[in-house]
Structure 1
Amino acid sequence: MFELDVRSRKPIYEQLVEKLKQLIINDVLKEDEKLPSVRDLAQQLTINPNTIQKAYRELESQGYIYSVKGKGSFVNPVQPTKNTEELKKVREELKKLFAEAIYLGMTSEEIQALLHEVQGGEQDD
């Protein structure tokens, strides 16, 4: 599925949350798709099941997944109106990142090209 960097300063559960978010955002994991069980994923990645559980709890609190007792965890369907608080946080973080990028010399054209790339469009070279 993916690899985690055990030498990174970033905690394993945070890396796992990021990787799963990327898979959900990039539509690799589809709406209502079942995620691997905590035990299975822990075996695949050779990490403690508590770490997987912590990552799943974090993803659930952020609205990316939901749990069904006795069935497992699933990818949450996109509900734009439900994530207004999360969107607010993302907007504030983007403002900080854009300000830093501009300070470091990135042009608005480069930022727009990057956005176009993220949206899946082809970049004109």
Structure 2
Amino acid sequence: MIEFHLDARSGVAPYLQLVHQVRQAMRLGLLFEGDRLPTVKDVAAKVAINPNTVLKAYRELEYEGLVTKKPGVGTFVSSTLSDASLSEHEPLRQELRGWLTRARAAGLDEESIEALFLSTFRTATEEEQ
């Protein structure tokens, strides 16, 4: 089951954060076809947002063909974004684990590590374009 988390400081709309998290879980093979997403009520209570925000995210995923809503039953994953090539990148995963270990050893907390990674990722992406 997916656990949603929202970052109020990200500048990204809450419903889009939910959509991105579902897509990411699909890519990583954490959600498979037929898996049931948490109920709107459960997500809204867990992340303290309006249920309509969760509905908007689920509708977006449905529009994209990634989930199917079954009235009275729930919302289910209807396709996958799993990328088989992700499993082929184990050497990169190991390098990243090493980097994380060094970042922690340097005294960075989880939030600082995430900020450093994201800012570096965004800068590199902008430079490539």
Shorter-chain-normalised TM-score: which range? 0.5 to 0.7
C-alpha RMSD of matched pairs (Å)? 2.4
Q: TM-score, normalised by structure 1?
A: 0.63
Q: Does 1:119 align with 2:86?
A: yes
State which of 8, 11, 22 in structure 2 corresponds to 1:6: 8
Query: What percentage of aligned pairs have identical amino acids?
Result: 39
- What's the counterpart of residue 39 of structure 1? 41
Q: Where does the alignment leave 5 or more consecutive residues of structure 1 unmatched?
A: 80-114
5 Å-filtered alignment, 1:72-83, equals: 72-78=74-80
Deviations 1:10-69 (A, max 9, x none): 111111100011112212112111111101111011111000000000000001100111
State which of 67, 72, 90 in structure 2 corresponds to 1:65: 67
Paired with 2:71 and 2:5, the residues of 1 have a C-alpha distance of 28
Q: TM-score, normalised by structure 2?
A: 0.61
Sort the Cα spacing of 1:78 and 1:16 in 2 relative to 1 into closer, same or farther, 3 A. closer
Sort the Cα spacing of 1:78 and 1:14 in 2 relative to 1 into closer, same or farther, 3 A. closer
- Which structure would you say has the larger RCO, counting Cα contacts within 8 Å and 6 or more residues apart? 2
* 2:27–2:80 CA contact under 8 A, matched in 1: no
- How many residues align? The count is 89
Higher normalized helix content (fraction of residues): 2
Paired with 1:15 and 1:77, the residues of 2 have a C-alpha distance of 19
Give the deviation of 1:7 after TM superposition: 1.6
The residue type paired with residue 35 of structure 2 is E
Paired with 2:18 and 2:33, the residues of 1 have a C-alpha distance of 19
Paired with 1:78 and 1:9, the residues of 2 have a C-alpha distance of 27
